[in-house]
Amino acid sequence: MAKAHALPHTPWARPLAGLLARLRRRGKRAPSPIASLGPGWAVVRGRARAGSNARRAPISGRLGLGWRVLVERECGVRGWEPVVDLCEFVNFELQDPSGSICVRACDCPIVIEVAERRGRGGPFAPPPFVVAQLIARAAREPSAVQGVLFHKGFRWREWVLEAGSEILVRGRVISEPGDESTGYRALTEVLVLAGGTTRPLELTE
């Protein structure tokens, strides 16, 4: 079972990934039919279909194929600093009129811009209890959380991919062994969509 995992805490990594994702989208590369895909980077539009158990987003409680939560605190001239950055996904099927392909989302770096909800707080506007819990868990020491909650401004965002949503996926098509073999032959090869070592899997509307 996939578990929520903290994304690497590199101050420039997430803003840079988001910037690169936006620049690539401006290229307006047309989506390819799933049936025509081959190994390499691709853009595909289709509907996300459940492949296994749903995941419940921690702030809103929405059910979906995956979610990401980002909580940031205000740091003066430095802008906003991530305090919590969690992501949990299951693998799912992406379907279009030409066919379907598995999206390997459970263990890939992901940039998601789907069904966003957000909120803000500050010294006189405490966060929802669940947001405070997420910060406390990330800080590991409740005494260290007080400065985050009551002496700084903060904001949080939550993205959820719901089953049946039509999305645009940018990722790398790779070949993996399938689940079935034919006689004495080796396992058949299947194509899946995944993220790469230098580029995350991108899910947008």
Please give the Cα distance from 193 to 89 (Å, whole number): 14
Q: How many CB atoms are closer than 10 A to CB 88?
A: 22
- pTM across the whole model: 0.78
Locate the domains of the chain by residue range: 5-204
Q: Tokens 């081959």 sit at which residue? A: 38
Provide block-wise average pLDDT over 10 residues at a time, the chain (205 residues).
51 53 60 94 94 86 95 84 92 96 92 94 81 81 48 87 96 82 61 88 95
Where are the extended beta strands (E) located within 127-196?
A: 154-161, 166-181, 187-194
Q: What is the pLDDT of residue 96?
A: 96
Q: For residue 180, what are the CA distances in angstroms to 92, 185, 190? A: 19, 10, 10
Q: Is 43 exposed, middle or buried (0-12, 13-18, 19+ CB in 10 A)?
A: middle
Q: What is the pLDDT of residue 138?
A: 78
